[in-house]
Amino acid sequence: LAKTTQPISMDSYEGQEVNITCSHNNIATNDYITWYQQFPSQGPRFIIQGYKTKVTNEVASLFIPADRKSSTLSLPRVSLSDTAVYYCLVALSGYSTLTFGKGTMLLVSP
Amino acid sequence: GEEVAQTPKHLVRGEGQKAKLYCAPIKGHSYVFWYQQVLKNEFKFLISFQNENVFDETGMPKERFSAKCLPNSPCSLEIQATKLEDSAVYFCASTPSGAGMEQYFGPGTRLTVT
C-alpha cells in the first residue's frame, strides 16, 4: 500500500477555502485516493474518492494531477464545524483495508 | 439500520481480564472491519470479514485477539488477558460489497486497561 504524507496541522478562518495536500509518491496504477474526516470522539467519515483529474461532491473537491503523486482536498468556505482531522488514504479499489496515516488537524477559527 | 452501532461505548478492564466488544454493521453490508486507534490519529487495521468469513486477518495479534461475525448476531472482537497497551479506541466499519474505500464507521468503543 502506498504511503501518504500530509501536513500535521493547518489553521484557517471561517469563510476561507482550505486546501490540504497529500503526497503519495509510490502510488500504484490501480490505487485510488480517498479522504476521511474525523471529529473528536467519533469514527472517521468518508468525504471523497478519486482516481485522476478532479472530483467534486456537495462537501469537497479532490484535485489529482496527471502523475497522481499527490492530491489536494479542497474545502470551500470552511466553518467552525469543519475543525477536524483529515486523512488521506491510498488503496486498491475493491481491496478494502484502509491504512490511515497521521492525518492533518485542521483548526478553523472565527 | 443506517448506522454502524458499537457497544459498549466505554469499557474498563484490569490487566489480565477479558474484554469483549460488539459491532452491528449496517444492514445489507457484506464487509466488516475492525480498527484500533491507539494514540491520537494512529490507526491500526486488525481484521475484516466478508459476511461471516474472515477476509483479511493480517493485523490481528492472534495470541490474545479473536473476532467473529456470525449470522443474525452482532460481530464481536474479544481480547483475552488484556494488557495495558490494548488501551485504545476500537472502531468497527462496514461497507457494501464493491464499495471498497467508502467505509461507514461506528462511534467506537474506548477500552481502558488498568
The predicted structure's pLDDT at residue B102: 86
Grid cell listed for A96:
478494502
User: What is the maximum span of chain B, computed from C-alpha positions, in angstroms?
Assistant: 40
Q: To 10 degrees, the CA torsion angle through A24, A44, A84, A15?
A: 90
pLDDT tens-digit readout, B37-69: 997 778 899 999 999 999 889 889 989 999 999
Q: How far is CA B74 from the centre of its chain?
A: 11
Q: Which residue is listed with cell 474526516? A: A37
Grid cell listed for A28:
500504484
pLDDT tens-digit readout, A32-77: 899 999 999 899 999 999 999 999 999 999 999 999 999 999 999 9
Range 61-100 of A in CB contact (< 8 A) with B: 85, 89, 91-100
Whole-angstrom Cα distance, residue B59 to residue B49?
Answer: 13
Q: Across the interface, which of A42, A99, A105 has its CB nearest the CB of B45? A: A99
Q: Across the interface, which of A46, A100, A102 has its CB nearest the CB of B102? A: A46
Average pLDDT over residues A2-14: 92
The predicted structure's pLDDT at residue B42: 83
